[in-house]
Amino acid sequence: MISLVSADEVHLKNGDRLTGNIIYFEGQYLFIKTEYAGTIKVNNDKVKSFSIDNLVNIKQNLFSSSIVAKEARLKNYRADTKGQSKKVLVIQNGDGVTEIPITSELSVARINGRSPKKSPLTYSGSINLGIYVDTDSSKTSRYNFDGTLGLKYDFWRHTLKGKFYRKTENEKTKSYYYHLDYSVDRFFTQSFFWQGAMSYQHDWQEDIRANKSIGTGPGWQVWEDEHSALSLASLLNYQMLDYRDGEHSENPQIALKWDFYQYFGDRAFKLTTSGEIGRSFNRNVLLDLKANATLSYKLTESLLLNTGISYEKVRAKDGDSRNKSINLGIGYQW
């Protein structure tokens, strides 16, 4: 007797179709094993729909219980009035037909005697470059370079950010600084995490030459899905300021951080904003603010056109620091 097993199908947005056995799916990638090309790794942004006609094991996030389904398929709803499409995983099990929202935490694996496990390490990042030179009467030039690297491993999330900016007018430097930020989050539930953070900024123009801080505190992932995400954190920081005149101050500080992004236009556009606002307990620093917002347009899967604004201000008893930059440039993401 010959046993026939129906093949799984993956339909891509460009009209192509892949057939074989879908062995794993998670927020960023789908893996399908084919007879003609072996195992193929497909970016989920290119997938329109798929169907799995086999027992699968599903986990909605690291903290949820596994769900066993007889079959599963990806359904792509058309764009709504806001220009957003919607993807859901439609499964059939003993409870009937259920729709599960697609998120970066969702994982689906063909049952092979073991529960599915997320990839040990996932990463994402971007770098952006903007150069502006105006040779009119003011002879203005601006150079901006910034980047972000994100790593996720089980319950851990690491984020590294950096920025360099320089502006000159009539051969005189008006703004010249760089800063680095690192944070690590440890999730205890799907929403609650504890964050540790460090930052350093060096400025060649303002009263405050160096701004260093280290802190820790609780955070909350308000939501995260395929279209948008928002996280908040409250930190107790220890801040060290070095002034251009040689003065030095050390200040315990309370701060609030935010990180938000929103896709729209069927994921062609992305709005991102993040920042931190704080104040010291000893009142030496009345305001410590860092905020930025970026709008990016996806030219290709990797190339971006970016425009954004960044604003930083420290108001302290012994001196102030203020930087504002507007940029337009090309970015690369992975």
Q: Is 202 left (phi over 0), alpha (psi -120 to 50) or beta?
A: beta
How many CA atoms, within 13 angstroms, populate the side-chain half-sphere of residue 59?
Answer: 19
Contact 208, 320 (CB under 8 A): yes
Q: How far is CA 218 from CA 70, 206, 221, 234, 261, in A?
A: 40, 32, 10, 6, 20
Structure tokens at 144: 């901006």
Counting beta carbons within 10 angstroms of the beta carbon of residue 1, is it exposed (0 to 12), middle (13 to 18) or buried (19 or more)? exposed
Contact 253, 233 (CB under 8 A): no
Cα–Cα distance for residue pair 100/110, rounded to 1 Å: 17
Walk along the chain (334 residues) and give the pLDDT tens digit of each residue.
333 356 889 999 888 999 988 888 886 788 888 888 888 888 888 888 899 888 888 888 878 888 888 888 888 776 565 556 678 888 888 778 888 888 877 888 887 644 445 555 778 888 988 877 766 656 788 899 999 999 988 889 999 999 999 999 888 999 999 999 999 999 999 899 999 999 999 999 999 999 999 999 999 999 988 789 999 999 999 999 999 999 999 999 999 999 999 998 878 999 999 999 999 999 999 999 999 999 999 999 889 999 999 999 999 999 999 999 888 899 999 8
Q: Is 294 left (phi over 0), alpha (psi -120 to 50) or beta?
A: beta
Residues in the chain, total: 334
Q: Domain spanning 122-333 has what CATH number?
A: 2.40.160.40
What residues have CB less than 8 Å from 139, skipping those under 6 apart? 168, 169, 170, 171
Q: Domain residues of the chain, as ranges?
A: 8-110, 122-333
What residues have CB less than 8 Å from 188, skipping those under 6 apart? 155, 194
- DSSP string across 33-72: EETTTEEEEEEGGGEEEEEE-S-EEEESSTTSPPEEESEE
